[in-house]
Amino acid sequence: MANILRFQLFFFVLYMFSSQTPTEAHSTGLSFKLIHKNSPNSPFYKSDKKFHENKFHSFNQVPEKAYVQKGPYTRVTSNNGDYLMKLTLGSPPVDMYGLVDTGSDLVWAQCAPCSRCYQQKNPMFEPLRSKTYSPIPCDSEQCSFFGHSCSPQKLCAYSYSYADSSITNGVLARETITFSSTDDNPVVVGDIIFGCGHSNSGTFNENDMGIIGMGGGPLSLVSQIGTLYRRKRFSQCLVPFHTDTHSSGTISFGDDSDVSGEGVVTTPLVSEEGQTSYLVTLEGISVGDTFVTFNSSEMLSKGNIMIDSGTPATYLPQEFYDRLVEELKVQSNLIPIEDDPDLGTQLCYRRETNLEGPILTAHFEGADVQLMPIQTFIPPKDGVFCLAMAGTTDGEYIFGNFAQSNILIGFDLDRKTVSFKPTDCTNQ
């Protein structure tokens, strides 16, 4: 959660090994459906809300065997550029809507009692009401990676921070989680380790009930359920936030997460010790036919950018970003806005509809990914479209979720690859 756009980036990674015991599983895979809050299928639906209000999203069940890819969208605002995913916790089951974040690992929810928590619209998860809730003792082997940190009740205490200073504190526990599946049969997975947050603060909105870490660490959701399908992999298909439709997107696991067929390109994941984020190598970005190199003066570093679903904007080295913007200005026949203090230094144009060009191409190692204007320009307010990228000097570079929209993206942790397939995620 940085500058004018939501920034979800883990501050540190918690390493912890655990076993997962499936109580019931579908052999081919399962999918989660992201739904815009103004959809009649959303728990946040209000029929009198207009499209230009802030949007929030949730998962809903996937009722058919096909790979359904419909997705959420939202207006570009400082704290609401996120996707929410529905998890059903406990026995009896309780719905939890968590922010999907490939930039972190911990799965956590706000739990009652919670005296120091941010305001939440839906009721909090009440662990004592669940027959399958099992807190982890602080002297257990699973808690050793926290230094056997203990709560007053001798339970395994955790503290997990994010780069924007958001933080969750609570206890680790095992719980049963229920998912939808592609054949409409529920998938019940037991012994998922999650954080029951009793003290949480940060730039959350009232519909965020926690965060679902989808990174590569052992505590992430994809790692924990990966043993069910013998492969740790998942795919996502996200709709552009400013798409005027009630369509929804999916995150899929198992066989349904395979990204294949015509148009698929693949780039290697770059592993760094202590890192569980999805690092890839960006060689440069073309504006039309003009290639703008990532680094004009030094040798290109492997794993120089992270793919993060929890960050809306794409963050690039300042010098690279400046050269990219200059080339965009050269190839555009529009006059940039320079007299609106609300827009800061962003590259923006006055338009009632999105730009017609130029088309950008992100050149990852071995994979060229074309980005249309709907993926690179967003409307912060009526009649204005701005480049959904920013320059930074902090060394943390991110391929954000605006640019990830309308692309079926497959993350394969075992093969250490990321695959991209151009896809109309509003029409799947």
- 303 and 354 both lie in a single domain: yes
- 190 and 302 both lie in a single domain: no
* 35 has a pLDDT exceeding 60: no
Distance CA 262, CA 91 (A): 43
Listed residues 223, 257, 291: the one ending a domain: 257
- Tens digit of each residue's pLDDT (9 = 90 or more) over 353-395: 999 889 999 999 999 999 999 999 988 888 999 999 999 998 8
Looking at 142-156, 253-267, 330-344, which range is the least confident one? 142-156
More confident residue, 299 or 18: 299
- 241 and 125 both lie in a single domain: yes
User: CATH no. for residue 357?
Assistant: 2.40.70.10
Please, how many CA atoms are within 13 Å of residue 158, restricted to the half-sphere of its CB?
Answer: 31
- 246 and 273 both lie in a single domain: no
- Tens digit of each residue's pLDDT (9 = 90 or more) over 96-119: 888 889 999 999 999 999 989 999
Q: How far is CA 197 from the centre of its chain?
A: 20
Annotated active-site residue in 82, 105, 208, 308: 308
Determine, yes or no, domain membership for 180: yes
* 145 has a pLDDT exceeding 70: no
Listed residues 207, 236, 257: the one ending a domain: 257
Distance CA 367, CA 360 (A): 14
More confident residue, 10 or 173: 173
Looking at 43-57, 165-179, 219-233, 251-265, which range is the least confident one? 43-57
Asked if 197 and 210 touch (Cβ cutoff 8 Å), the reply is yes
Annotated active-site residue in 101, 105, 208, 412: 101
Looking at 51-60, 217-226, 298-307, 312-321, which range is the least confident one? 51-60
- Tens digit of each residue's pLDDT (9 = 90 or more) over 180-223: 665 666 778 888 999 999 999 998 888 889 999 999 988 898 88
Two tokens at 178? 């229920």
Our count of domains for the chain comes to: 2
Distance CA 307, CA 400 (A): 6
Domain that holds residue 361: 265-422
- 199 and 302 both lie in a single domain: no
- Tens digit of each residue's pLDDT (9 = 90 or more) over 221-248: 888 888 766 788 888 888 787 665 556 6
* 12 has a pLDDT exceeding 80: no
Residue 13's pLDDT is 26
More confident residue, 33 or 92: 92
Determine, yes or no, domain membership for 13: no
- 61 and 34 both lie in a single domain: yes
* 345 has a pLDDT exceeding 80: yes
- 274 and 234 both lie in a single domain: no
- 188 and 48 both lie in a single domain: yes
- 187 and 43 both lie in a single domain: yes
Asked if 117 and 195 touch (Cβ cutoff 8 Å), the reply is no
Residue 64's pLDDT is 30
Asked if 412 and 419 touch (Cβ cutoff 8 Å), the reply is yes
Average of per-residue pLDDT values in the chain: 78
Distance CA 218, CA 16 (A): 6
Determine, yes or no, domain membership for 4: no
- 81 and 200 both lie in a single domain: yes
Determine, yes or no, domain membership for 58: yes
**Bridge partners (DSSP) listed for residue 197:** 110, 170
pTM for the structure as a whole? 0.80
* Catalytic status, residue 244: no
Determine, yes or no, domain membership for 427: no
DSSP letter, residue 319? H
Determine, yes or no, domain membership for 428: no
- 274 and 388 both lie in a single domain: yes
* Catalytic status, residue 101: yes
Determine, yes or no, domain membership for 47: yes
Determine, yes or no, domain membership for 294: yes
- 100 and 241 both lie in a single domain: yes
**Bridge partners (DSSP) listed for residue 189:** 22, 177
Query: Strand 187-201 relative to strand 107-110: parallel, antiparallel, unpaired?
Result: parallel
Listed residues 257, 276, 310: the one ending a domain: 257
